[in-house]
Chain A
Amino acid sequence: MLRSRLIYILLFSILMSCKDYLDIKSNSGLATPDNFEAMQRILDNMEVMNISTNPLGEASSDNYFLTLQSYNSLGMRSQEAYTWRIIDNNFPNDWATSYLTVYHSNIVLDNLKSIQINDANKETWSQLAGAAYFYRSYAYLSLLWTYAKGYEESEKDLYPGIVLRVDADPYKPSERSSIAACYNTVIHDLERSIPLLPRQSEHVLRPSKAAAYGLLARTYLSMRHYDKSEIYADSAWMISAKLIDYNMLDANTQFPFERYNIETTFFSQMSTTLPAMNYYNALVDTTLYKSYNKDDLRLKLFFAQGSDGYYQFKGSYAGASDFFTGITSAEILLMRAESYIRNGRIERGLSDLNHLMRHRYATGKYKDLGGLSQEDALERILCERRKELLFRGLRWMDVKRLNLEGRNIVLKRQIPEGVLELVPNSNRYALPIPTDVVDRTGIPQNPQ
């Protein structure tokens, strides 16, 4: 008996040391992300990395409205989203799609950490790392704009932001970091990515320095740090300054803009079109529509006649009914213009605005602006910003930051039960985190 037990133990120890034998991948078709090529392909996954901007913010904003008939035809979840009364928002949702982007960025960053940098691989390593930081920051920013209150300098440490995942380890518990910590991370990552990224990339689906500068400008704009947003918008404009002359476009096509056009600095798109924002349902806000000048070419290029004399939006830079949310040189120019004006350089700001408007109006029909007071110039630029960047996933963030300045923008919804209003700076501006995530992690929910 004893002898056989000894043999047993001996056999076991010999066999258990055959770890190498068992260290073989069971299915060759499934790649593990430990080499540069696999990592590049992970970052090139368009659906995960580029088509992941949160749609909930835009769905909660005032660029569109629904007729009572459209509203009634929607399911419960869509009606709740339209009226800022979301209850569950369980999977699938934009929280999951953004964190899918974060996860894949982290997988690449984790694997890059274990690769030694040398002269041969330095360029590839840098580009991959830079791109990964960029994508992660983009996702964090989108989440912050949707699920956290507007950035207020005096309160930034008091309110919770989003969950920061520092690596791809799925066993680390999720916790909400403060708004300050979150924005700091976004800024830090983007700053890190700038020296690593190429000036311009092979394709606008991939990040570049111009895109990183543009995203930093967006970040600081949403934080109301206009001095910084001016610097970065300027840096971005230095690289990416092409504007489309709208006079060259044909307004009679269904979707006049081409995907990946010359104005696109970085391409991204909303992860999905929520039923409320479906092409046939979402009608452009009438006040917004009326604010376009009759010589403004955007009237015909952005809008198509819908039912009952209202208009539908056809001006997406995705060249389809999907909503483009990427960075364009026009947006960069507008951010620089607004920052100039806020920082006191009114004439420079107006000059930028005029430059853009000449590309948007029928040739010769635009009268340059000049000699305005700061307040008038600011109002003008904000108005033009809204008219240019509608349905780009920016309005929700804009309303939040503008209301923190006291601009008192009240959002309204007309539904069968009456008119609903969203009070400025209300808690509801931080949309509720999915209930299934809150239940499973215990992170604090946003008060509504």
Chain B
Amino acid sequence: MKNSIILLILNLLTVLCYGQVLKGRVYDKATGKGIAGVTITSKSTQKKFKAGPGGEIEIGNITSDSLHFHHMGYTDRVLFVKGSDTNIAVGLTAKSIEIEEVQVQTGYQSLRADQLSGSAQVLNESQLNQNVGSNILDRLNHVANAVFFDNQLQASDNQKLNFSIRGLSTINGVRDPLIVLDGFIYEGSIQNIDPNNIESITILKDAAASAIWGARAGNGVLVIKSKNAKVTDGRTNVTVNKSIQFAQKPDLYDVYQMPAEEFIEIEKMLFKNGYYDRNIRRSPFSALTPVVSLLQQHKTGKIDGGLLDQRLTALKNIDSRSDYMDYFMEYPLLDQYALSLSNGTEKNKIHLAVGYTFDKNQYGAKNKKINIDFNDRMMLLPKLHLDIGFKYTNAKNHAGKPAFETFRYRNIRAPYMDLVDADGNGLVLETTYDKIYTDNYLPGKLLSWDYVPFEDYRYVDNRSIRNEYLGQAQLSYKILPFIDLVLAYQIQNQMASDNVRNGLDSYYTRVMINSYASYNEVTDRMEYPVPMGDIVLKNNVNIRSYNWRGQINVNKVWDKFELSGIVGAEVRESKTDGESSTLYGYTADPLNNVAIDFVSDFPIGISYSTSIIPGRPVLNSSINRFVSIYSNWNVEYNKRLGATASVRRDAANIFGVAANDKWSPFWSVGAYLHVPDQWIKGAKADRLKVRASYGVSGNVDLRKTALPVAESTTFNYSPYSGLIIAQLNDPYLRWEKIKTFNVGLDLSFLDGRIRGSIDHYQKRGTDLYGLTGYDYTTWGYQSFITKNVASMDGRGTDLVIETDNIRGKFSWSTIYNLAWNKSKTRTYYAANGMNVSSFLDIGSSITPVPDYPLYGIAGYRSAGLDAKGNPQGFLNGVPSTDYTAIRRQPLDLGENGNIIFKGSSKPQVFGSIINKFSFKNWALAVNASFYGDYYFMKNTTSYTQLFSNGKAYADFEKRWQKQGDESHTVVPALIYPADQLRDSFYRLSESNILRADHIHLEYVRLSYASAIKNSAKLECFANVSNLGLLWVSNKEKIDPLYQDKVKPPLTFTFGTSVKF
């Protein structure tokens, strides 16, 4: 009522004093109802008006102008009005898709999705909560598009994380994508981040999106944004989250183990043939398996035949897995708590979050983590804002019991290891030394040599602690209405310290003390170079970094043009210091340790060898500095046509002088078009955006340096220590370049029933680190050096489409998340002309052969078994068992010889399909993942390995045993002596390379959400994950992800979240 009177008066006044008043109404085209609160901006004066509660418009002082109508949930509209207009009716179309409203975080700025010419995917809180677990990266698995998690990888300096975005972009360089947290590169441990406090993750996939990050963006960028306060009404919002996760015990019976009876028969056969004689003679102190030890005792007359048979029969009935699962394995548990408070007003937006995570794994190892996150956005003056943020993480880890795979007799894993007796007491496992031998070695003068797995871990205290502090401050000042000046600073410090205390009663310590101990005949005393007391191994790593940034943000709107951009510069330093040392003779009370001689070579009596005492303190330190300037621009015409450009220039202390002086920046350009309504109406499309981009980003290996660097060595026969120049001076060494071309389509059909995006990209990596031959007269240390000489190509298609199959009270929607990716080496200079024979292996490492995929598998053509059960290959087109000749052939003939290249060993198409059902307050999500177009190598039994390590695989049961078997099996007969070349040939045979396509059921998630009184919200969920294999293409039904590995167990997670 009050409003109307005021309006009336103003109306009259304006009519009297100024000019025309424009009236009207803004309404929803579909329903005809007025839309409240629509923002109307006058392009000429930049003044903003708001529509009334019923959609009424009243704008005074109207001249010819263009008015921009905007409201959440509706498509923006621009209307031209003439000075003479008095009444307008503006209809707005409801948007079923929120894509334009999504904010894409690049780390340097926040862009609207519709301003993007590149390819990026934003995952919001709800999507990140679909998966469970305490590691934020794992939440992306099967939910993010074109992100592949590889569980077959071994961590190395080049690859600390196990995922890739859009496949590989490098051969020898660093493979990890860049992680950015709240605007700055994150160098800490990913496990520090509390998933409960993350608002969104943006994946920057192509050059237009990621070139702004320059020399480290070549593998894609992951931008993580923490939660902060949003509401501007002064109320304090509280959120409480609790979730608990249980799992079954991982099942050791997943992995094939040869039955004890068969294993013992093989040992008896080997013993009879004298296989163990040499070892027993040469190293009588070495542990033997109980069977071999018994056989030896019987042979030397220490036990009779009756006792031998009795003991062997007892062993036949033991399965080591049962003791382990009963006495060692625990039920994994994960418990998470999170509390957050946020209060937002115009002047002050504060957010405080506290989280606690407790994690116990199947070995009983415990992990406790505390997270504290605080941020505050303050308006000091109308034009001056100050943001401060502080994060603290404290993680403590206490190791648990030893893994089953660590139990062995020397290097042999036998199926009959007895770990615990019938009364629950731990039994001795002869893991290194033969008990009979040690019992008689310096009897009475040494500590016990016995290893009792069931007891030993209690004497080892293995702890690690990690503390991370992260502080940020940002000052922004509006110099002009369209220019902001921003100054930002971040400091980070992570201290990680590992401490393993091997008590005096632990096996490790007793063996160390015993090994170095010697009996001095002159003094009739024992001498202990390793003194009595605990042995403590310490390792500390400290990572500190700081980052200064100055940036200017421009946002200007004209008549039909909108320009936004940033120009900035930053300086970054990251320093890592590490130290490790071992303390001997340690006691805690009184606190003491004994000085050790780390230099002398001591005799190790029990094994007739010599050794220095390990654990001399070692230090290392490295520092990286970057100076960069960057700029990103976006210009849009008529809210329809847009163009983008970005550029970045990096200089670093690791680059060569010549590289640093060169002007070769990273850049990208892009364009997009929101196809006008009229054109797409015919296709029943709601909206269609076409975009294309091209750009160059980089990949730098921080371990490489352009200086000549020397490494230390010492020598057995010299009193001096030496240095060798192990790396050549290369002033031209620089970063790798990745050029990406991307074209994409964002679409929505049938009123939003089908919506999503498709991208196709081609990338080329050039100046990749590769080995190249050089004139080694100049140096001589190696015949190849690393230079920027290699190149590779990658291409693929990403598809994310969501369909609303049924709408209404009961709804059903499906998300199709697909990625195709193929990569191949283009050029690579290497020794001996690497060709397809380099792929004769399991395909787990990159093999750079021009025109072939980076990961691939090849195998020998196989002709089955011959009449005696020997595997046959081809030699000059004829089946042959001359394994030496078969091996020699591929090097000359490649695929024209007797090998065949099967295909990629990493999936070339992968993704997931998520079906969501909802009814009233309930929702059910089912996620199935698939991996296709690749191969894997089946694990096969090698008889040489079986005899020396006891390792066999399931194919052993199917081996050739009698004449005629060759018609239905390809597994070779067991022969003695084993033939290494025969085993190796069989392992690499084509018949063992299987197609790896498969579908897994990832999780089923049931949730209930409702509002409770006073605008409070409650959400509960239950998630079952690791549901196993749904379909696999290989006939042997092997799961390629978990071949001969214990599968992750069925896991149940329950959680609630209350917001009020």
Query: What residues of chain A have their CB less than 8 Å away from a CB belonging to chain B?
Result: 4, 7-8, 11-12, 14-16, 18-19, 21-33, 38, 41-42, 44-48, 90-92, 95-104, 107, 163, 165, 168-174, 203, 205, 259, 436-437, 440-441
Residue contact B709 to A92, C-beta cutoff 8 Å: no
Cα A101 to Cα B773 in complex, Å, equals: 20
Please report the C-alpha to C-alpha distance between residue A15 and residue B780 in the assembled complex, in whole angstroms. Answer: 39
Contact A16 to B713, CB < 8 A, known contacts A11-B567, A26-B623, A170-B729: no
Pair A11/B629 contact, Cβ less than 8 Å = yes
Q: Which of B717-755 contact A (CB under 8 A)?
A: 717-725, 727-729
Partner of B778, one of A19, A92, A101, A172: A172
Given A38-B710, A170-B779, residue A8 in contact with residue B567 (CB < 8 A): yes
Max chain A C-beta neighbours (<10 A), residue from B654, B703, B711, B779:
B779
Chain B contacts for A24, CB-based, 8 A: 623, 625, 653
B778 touches A31 (CB 8 A): no
* A47 contacts across to B, CB distance below 8 A: 713, 715, 722, 724
Chain A's closest residue to B577 (CB) is A28
Query: How near does chain A come to B591, taking the closest CB pair, in angstroms?
Result: 31
Q: Which residues of B contact A11 (CB under 8 A)?
A: 567, 569, 629
Interface centre among B623, B629, B715, B725 (most CB of A within 10 A): B725
Contact A437 B623 (CB under 8 A): no
Are B707 and A32 interface neighbours, CB within 8 A? yes
Distance of A174 Cα from B775 Cα, bound (Å): 8
- Whether A170 touches B623, Cβ cut-off 8 Å, given contacts A27-B709, A205-B718, is no
Q: Is B776 in the interface zone, CB < 8 Å from A?
A: yes
Could you tell me if A7 and B552 are in contact, using CB atoms closer than 8 angstroms? yes
B620 sits at the interface (CB 8 A) = yes
Distance A205 CA – B702 CA, assembled complex (angstroms):
38
Contact A96 B776 (CB under 8 A): yes
Asked, given contacts A4-B565, A103-B725, whether A96 binds B783 with beta carbons under 8 Å apart, the answer is yes
Q: Contact at B654–A26, with CB atoms within 8 Å?
A: yes
A318–B707 Cα distance when bound, in Å, is 36
- Taken together as a complex, chains A and B put the C-alpha atoms of A20 and B1035 apart, in Å, by 64
Contact across chains for A12 and B722 when beta carbons are under 8 A apart? no
Contact of A205 among B565, B660, B720 (CB under 8 A): B720
Q: Which residue of B lies closest to A37 (CB)?
A: B723
A19 to B655, CA, bound (A): 12
Enumerate 21 A-B pairs (CB-CB under 8 Å) in ascending A order. Answer: A7-B567, A11-B569, A11-B629, A15-B571, A18-B627, A25-B707, A26-B622, A26-B702, A30-B709, A32-B707, A33-B710, A33-B723, A46-B715, A97-B780, A101-B780, A165-B777, A165-B778, A170-B729, A172-B778, A173-B775, A440-B773
- Assuming A27-B705, A104-B725, A107-B725, is B777 touching A95 (CB within 8 A)? yes
At the interface, yes or no: B631 with Cβ under 8 Å from chain A? yes
| Residues of chain A lying within 8 A (CB to CB) of residue B777 | 95, 99, 163, 165, 174, 437, 441
- In the complex, the answer to whether B778 meets A99 with C-beta atoms within 8 Å is yes
A41 with B654: in contact, given A27-B709, A92-B783 (CB under 8 Å)?
no
Is the CB of B876 closer than 8 A to any CB of chain A?
no
How far apart sit A302 and B679, CA to CA, in the bound complex (Å)? Answer: 98
Contact of B621 with A by CB under 8 A: yes
As a 0/1 sequence over residues 526 to 567 of chain B, the CB contacts with chain A under 8 angstroms (1 = contact) are 000000000000000000000000001010000000000101
**A15–B570 CA distance with the chains assembled, in angstroms:** 9
Smallest Cβ-Cβ distance to B713: which chain A residue: A45
Assembly CA distance A15 to B571 (angstroms): 9
Per a CB cutoff under 8 Å, which of A32, A38, A98 touches B780?
A: A98
Q: Are A30 and B705 in contact (CB under 8 A)?
A: yes
Bound: A301/B921 CA distance, A = 97
Which residues in B have their C-beta under 8 angstroms from that of A21? 571, 625, 627, 653
With A21-B625, A48-B722, A48-B724 as known contacts, state yes or no: A440 contacts B775, CB within 8 Å.
Answer: yes
B interface residue numbers (CB < 8 A to A): 552, 554, 565, 567, 569, 571, 619-625, 627-629, 631, 649, 651-654, 660, 702-703, 705, 707-713, 715, 717-725, 727-729, 773-783
Interface of B is mostly: strand
Contact B723 A28 (CB under 8 A): no
CB-based contact A22/B775 at 8 Å: no
Quick one: closest A residue to B714, CB to CB?
Answer: A46
CB distance from B655 to the nearest CB of A (A): 8
For B631, the chain A residues whose CB sits under 8 A away are 4, 8
User: In whole angstroms, how far apart are the Cα atoms of A103 and B652 in the complex?
Assistant: 28
Contact of A436 among B554, B723, B773 (CB under 8 A): B773
Take A99-B778, A170-B778 as given contacts and tell me if A33 and B722 are in contact as well, using a CB distance cutoff of 8 Å. Answer: no
Contact A12 B629 (CB under 8 A): yes
Which residue in B571, B619, B649, B779 is a CB contact (below 8 Å) of A12? Answer: B649
Nearest chain B CB to A135 CB, angstrom units = 13
Closest-CB distance, B645 to chain A (whole angstroms): 11
Partner of B724 from A45, A102, A170, A171 at Cβ < 8 Å:
A45
Given A29-B621, A30-B705, A99-B778: A44 in contact with B721 (beta carbons within 8 A): yes
A31 in complex: contacting residue of B619, B723, B728, B779, CB < 8 Å = B723
Give every chain A residue within 8 A of B620 (Cβ-Cβ).
Answer: 27-29
A30 touches B711 (CB 8 A): yes
Q: Which residues of the partner chain A approach B565 to less than 8 Å between Cβ atoms?
A: 4
Contact B724 A22 (CB under 8 A): no
A23 touches B776 (CB 8 A): no
Q: Roughly how many angstroms separate A33 CA and B567 CA in the complex, as a whole number? A: 41
For the complex of A and B, 8 pairs with smallest distance between CB atoms: A45-B722, A100-B780, A91-B783, A30-B709, A44-B720, A99-B780, A170-B778, A28-B621
Q: Which residues of A contact B782 (CB under 8 A)?
A: 91
Residues of A within 8 A of B721 (CB): 41, 44
Chain A residues, Cβ within 8 Å of B719:
203
| Contact (Cβ within 8 A) B722 A15 | no
Task: Report chain A residues within 8 Å CB of B723.
Answer: 31, 33, 38, 41-42, 44-45
A170 and B567 contact, Cβ closer than 8 Å, known pairs A4-B554, A24-B625, A27-B705: no
Q: Is the CB–CB distance between B775 and A26 below 8 Å?
A: no
Distance in Å from the Cβ of B707 to the closest Cβ of chain A?
Answer: 6
Cβ–Cβ contact B725 & A33, under 8 A: yes
Nearest Cβ distance between residue A298 and chain B, in whole angstroms?
24
The CA-CA distance from A8 to B648 in the complex, in Å, is 11
Which A residues are in CB contact (< 8 Å) with B783? 90-92, 96, 436
- Which residues of the partner chain B approach A171 to less than 8 Å between Cβ atoms? 778
The distance in angstroms between the C-alpha atoms of A34 and B217, with both chains bound, is 35
Contact A99 B623 (CB under 8 A): no
- Given A104-B724, A170-B779, are A32 and B653 neighbors across the interface (CB < 8 Å)? no
B-chain residues with CB within 8 Å of residue A98 when the two chains form the complex: 780
CB distance from B112 to the nearest CB of A (A): 21
What residues of A have a CB within 8 angstroms of the CB of B623 in the complex? 24-28
In the complex, A47 Cα to B723 Cα: how many Å?
A: 10
Q: How far apart are A144's CB and chain B's nearest CB, in angstroms?
A: 14
B625 x A22 contact (CB < 8 A)? yes
Nearest residue in A to B653 (C-beta to C-beta)?
Answer: A22
Contacting residues, chain A, for B703 (C-beta < 8 A): 27
Are B718 and A42 interface neighbours, CB within 8 A?
Answer: no
Minimum distance in angstroms from B569 CB to a CB of chain A: 5
| Other contacts beyond A42-B710, A45-B713, A47-B713: 19, CB < 8 A | A4-B554, A8-B629, A8-B631, A23-B653, A26-B622, A27-B703, A28-B623, A29-B620, A29-B621, A32-B710, A38-B723, A41-B710, A45-B722, A45-B723, A90-B783, A91-B776, A100-B781, A165-B777, A174-B775
Give the chain B neighbours of A44 by CB distance below 8 A.
718, 720-723
Task: Verify B710–A103 contact, CB threshold 8 A.
Answer: no
For A172, list chain B residues within 8 Å (CB).
778
State the Cβ distance, A75 to closest chain B Cβ, in Å: 13
- Given A4-B552, A27-B709, A91-B776, A22–B652 Cβ distance below 8 Å? yes
Nearest A residue to B704, CB-CB: A26
Q: Are B775 and A441 in contact (CB under 8 A)?
A: yes
Complex Cα distance A15/B625, Å? 13
- Contact present for B728 and A32 (CB under 8 Å): no
Chain B residue numbers with a CB within 8 Å of A28 are: 620-623
Residue in chain A with minimal CB distance to B716: A46
Tell me the complex Cα distance, A149–B623, Å.
52
